Each structure stands twice: as C-alpha cells, then as structure tokens.
Amino acid sequence: MDGTATVEQITRQARRIHKSQVSWRRHLHQNPETANEEFETTRFLRAEIKKLGLRILPIKMKTGLLVELKGSSPGKTVAVRTDIDALPILEQSGVPFKSRRPGFMHACGHDMHMATVLGLAAVLKNFQKKLKGNVRFIFQPAEEKPPGGATPMIENGALKNVSMIFGLHVDPHLATGKIGVRDGVTMASVIDFDLVVHGRGGHAARPQHAVDAIVIAAEVIESLQKIVSRETDPILPTAVTFGKIEGGTARNVIADRVLLTGTARTLSARDSRRLPKMIKRTADNICKAHGAKAEMNIIARYPVLHNSPKANRLFERNFKKLFGAGKIEQTDQTLGGEDFACYLQEVLGAMFRLGVMNKSIGADKSWHSPHFIADEQALFFGTSVLAASVLDYLNG
C-alpha cells in the first residue's frame, strides 16, 4: 500500500464492516444454490451492491453480477473475483445457521468468498476519493459445475480494460490469520469428459451373440490408467479418474451401452493438450478390437492455473505490512481445478489461499465435506489484504 491509505485506516474499515460480513455470510450459507441456479443469491448481492452505491454493469447471463467502482481519477482497472455457487451436499456441520435447503450446502466456502468481496467493495467505497483507476468486482456463477462460469463472464466483458485480477480461496488446512501463495503452476488443468461404449445387447446365457459393453468398458478403464503410468512424465503429476458408470438394465441382459463419466487432471500444459487424444485413441482401439465403438465428448476444459509472481508479491508485501512477518505460507500444488485459471490466461493475476482453520470450533474439515466449517474471523484478514493490495496496485 502507498500513502493513500495507512495500515490503521484499512484495518479500521475492515473491522467496521466485519459484523455485516458475518451477517451476509450466514444468510448466504443458509440459502445455498447450485451452479447456474443462483437466482436468490444474485438478487441478494444486487440489493447489497445497490446499498453501497456501486455501478452494476449489464451482462447477458441468468445469474451472477459484474460491478464497478470508479476512482476519482483515471488509471488502471483491477478485477477481484468471487464464485457464488454451492454444492449438492446434505449439510451435517451442526452450525446454528446451517442450510435451510436440505441437500444443498456451501461446502467449499463460496459464501465466505462472497462476504469477503462484498466487504471489500464496502471498504474500497470509503477510499473512492483516493482511488486512481477502477475496481471490477466479478460475482461469478457455476464454478463447481463444468463448463464453468468464468468463460461466460469473460465473454460478457468481465476483463475489459483489466490489467490485473485477484482471487481467493478459503483453505481449511491453513490457520486463520495466515494466507498461502505460490508462484507459477498451482492448480491443475482439468479435462472433464464422457466416454460411451457402444456394444450389442443380448442374453446373458449367449454372450457369443452379443458385444458386452460392460466388459469392454472395464477394460477401457483399466487401460486408461496405463496412460498415467506409462505415457506421461512421472515427475509431472497426472490423474485419470472415473467417478460414475451407467450401463445395463437387468442381471440376465448383456448391456449394449455403458456411459463412463471421467476427469483428467495434470500440472503439465503439454500433457493437457495430449490427454484427450490419448484417451480417445485408447478407447477407440480397445472397442474396435472387440467389435464395439467408442464415443468421447469433452464436457469442459480448464487450463493450468498459473499465478503471477507480480500479483503474489502484492499479497505478500501488504499482508506483512498489515499483520507482520511469519504468517505467509507456500501453497502446495494440487490436481484440484479452478476456472479462475481462465481469467489468468487473459490477464496477469493470482489466487491466494485464505486460512480458515480453527480447531477449537471444528473448522478443520476439508472442502466438499458435509461437516465443512469456516472460521468467520478470516473475513477480516481476507478483506484487509485485498483492500491493501488493490490500493497498492492502483496507486502505488
């Protein structure tokens, strides 16, 4: 941060807004909505943004918001993104403000992300007269469901004139009061795909007159693991996983069709380009050998998430000024995917990890767990470092 705002001014504003952030977060937590169905979430965010007096930009999307805060003088534009969707999970966290929608839950912390960025907007509004340039707030739908909401947001102008973008993700394995950063490749490229094995149905007692799609699908699954072990560099992590299989109608009927729902992950940009071809080649050849046919459909592709060192230095410098040394850790690489990577293909930026672990309240369960809890004190730290980093970038 530079002379436009002191540490004390930023943290005072962040403390002032914290009670409202907790209220926003709990409302959002109680009313979770899944990808592209975030209608009430969008209405709630819109209403709060209007109270702040920020400009809402027009977009041709069912859900989500694009919001802008204009500074007092011309300059660069920095974007800050939050995801807004929840997951189809039955909550078992035991918190008093648990989901009011059985079977749906903010189990990945997107409610925390929204409350942080909404609070950031409120804090920066108070520094508007000192702001050189603009801040774009991206409230993005459908992070959890491919093909994701990042690309539609970009197509709707989310990155127009933007020169830097910031993102955050809560981390239940990192203590509250800390953040995590990593330069370069941090999260995996994701290729979500469906494979359909087309065989020929028949009676279970006469397999010689049929082409058993289930047996062939099993061979396809087993053989695709050899791509990982024998065709990709073992130094660069890669995974091919099938999470769902559908096929067959009865125990005495040979299935004529099997659907395999899979995902391929890699930290290698080269392997990300090669994997779909290798998967298709393997499935085609196995099916052909048994008189069947393979059909492959790519559902979504996210690039490797590559954090800019320039953006990370902003996070590090400002978090240290705000809260002292020894509170920044290096984030591990992971085969988890994030469509925030789509923004980073267009402009410089980075996503930092916001510590939300507090074992005394049970906030130490992993993402997507029905027992997931986040420490709400983390909202203060996330809001403060984002505010300081935005002001530093625009005015520094």
Give a yes or no: residue 297 inside a domain.
yes
Distance of CA 233 to the CA centre of its chain: 26
Among 268, 302, 336, where does a domain finish?
302
Task: State the residue range of the domain holding 94.
Answer: 7-187+304-395
Q: How many domains does the chain have?
A: 2
Q: Please check the confidence at residue 329 and state whether its pLDDT lies above 70.
A: yes
Torsion over CA: 362, 363, 368, 370 (sign): positive
Q: Specify the CATH number for the domain of residue 328.
A: 3.40.630.10
CB 224 within 8 A of CB 240: yes
312 and 291 assigned to the same domain: no
244 and 284 assigned to the same domain: yes
What is the rounded distance in angstroms from the CA atom of residue 186 to the CA atom of residue 308? Answer: 10
pLDDT at residue 5 in the model: 82
Six-digit token pair at 254?
Answer: 């040979």
363 and 298 assigned to the same domain: no
Give a yes or no: residue 50 inside a domain.
yes
Strand 179-181 and strand 348-357: the pairing is antiparallel
Q: Please check the confidence at residue 352 and state whether its pLDDT lies above 80.
A: yes
Give a yes or no: residue 1 inside a domain.
no
167 and 48 assigned to the same domain: yes
| pLDDT interval class at 253 (50, 70, 90) | very high
Give a yes or no: residue 164 inside a domain.
yes
Inter-CA distances, 387 with 157, 196, 205, 319, 395, Å:
23, 48, 69, 10, 12
What is the rounded distance in angstroms from the CA atom of residue 353 to the CA atom of residue 291? Answer: 50
| pLDDT interval class at 396 (50, 70, 90) | confident
Averaged pLDDT score across all residues of the chain: 96
The verdict on pTM exceeding 0.85 is yes
What is the rounded distance in angstroms from the CA atom of residue 172 to the CA atom of residue 175? Answer: 7
37 and 159 assigned to the same domain: yes
For residue 184, count CB atoms less than 10 angstroms from its CB and return exposed for 0-12, middle for 13-18, buried for 19 or more.
Answer: middle
b/e burial code for range 245-265 (CB count within 10 A of at least 16 → b): bebbeeeeebbbbbbbebbbb
Give a yes or no: residue 2 inside a domain.
no
Q: Specify the CATH number for the domain of residue 289.
A: 3.30.70.360
3-class SS letters over the chain: CCCCCCHHHHHHHHHHHHHHHHHHHHHHHHCCCCCCCCHHHHHHHHHHHHHHCCEEECCCCCCCEEEEEECCEEEEEEEEEEECCCECCCCCCCCCCCCCCCCCECCCCHHHHHHHHHHHHHHHHCCHHHCEEEEEEEEECCCCCCCCCHHHHHHCCCCCCEEEEEEEEEEEEEECCCEEECCEEEECEEEEEEEEEECECEECCCHHHCECHHHHHHHHHHHHHHHHHHCCCCCCCEEEEEEEEEECCCCCEECCEEEEEEEEEECCHHHHHHHHHHHHHHHHHHHHHCCCEEEEEEEEEECCEEECHHHHHHHHHHHHHHHCCCCEEECCCECCCCCHHHHHCCCEEEEEEEEEEEHHHCECCCCCCCCCCCCCCHHHHHHHHHHHHHHHHHHC
The proportion of the chain whose per-residue pLDDT surpasses 90, expressed as a percent, equals: 96
Q: Please check the confidence at residue 40 and state whether its pLDDT lies above 60.
A: yes
Of 15-19, 81-85, 235-239, 293-297, the one with minimum mean pLDDT is: 235-239
pLDDT at residue 353 in the model: 98
pLDDT at residue 1 in the model: 53
Give a yes or no: residue 360 inside a domain.
yes
12 and 151 assigned to the same domain: yes
For the chain, the first-to-last Cα distance in angstroms comes to: 7
Among 274, 302, 330, where does a domain finish?
302
274 and 171 assigned to the same domain: no
CB atoms within 10 A of CB 74: 9
Give a yes or no: residue 58 inside a domain.
yes
163 and 209 assigned to the same domain: no
Among 275, 302, 329, where does a domain finish?
302
175 and 195 assigned to the same domain: no
343 and 198 assigned to the same domain: no
155 and 35 assigned to the same domain: yes
Average pLDDT rounded to a whole number, residues 145-166: 97
156 and 214 assigned to the same domain: no
Give a yes or no: residue 18 inside a domain.
yes
Six-digit token pair at 110?
Answer: 């997107």
For residue 357, count CB atoms less than 10 angstroms from its CB and return exposed for 0-12, middle for 13-18, buried for 19 or more.
Answer: buried
Average pLDDT rounded to a whole number, residues 207-231: 97
pLDDT at residue 182 in the model: 98
| pLDDT interval class at 67 (50, 70, 90) | very high
Six-digit token pair at 200?
Answer: 């020929």
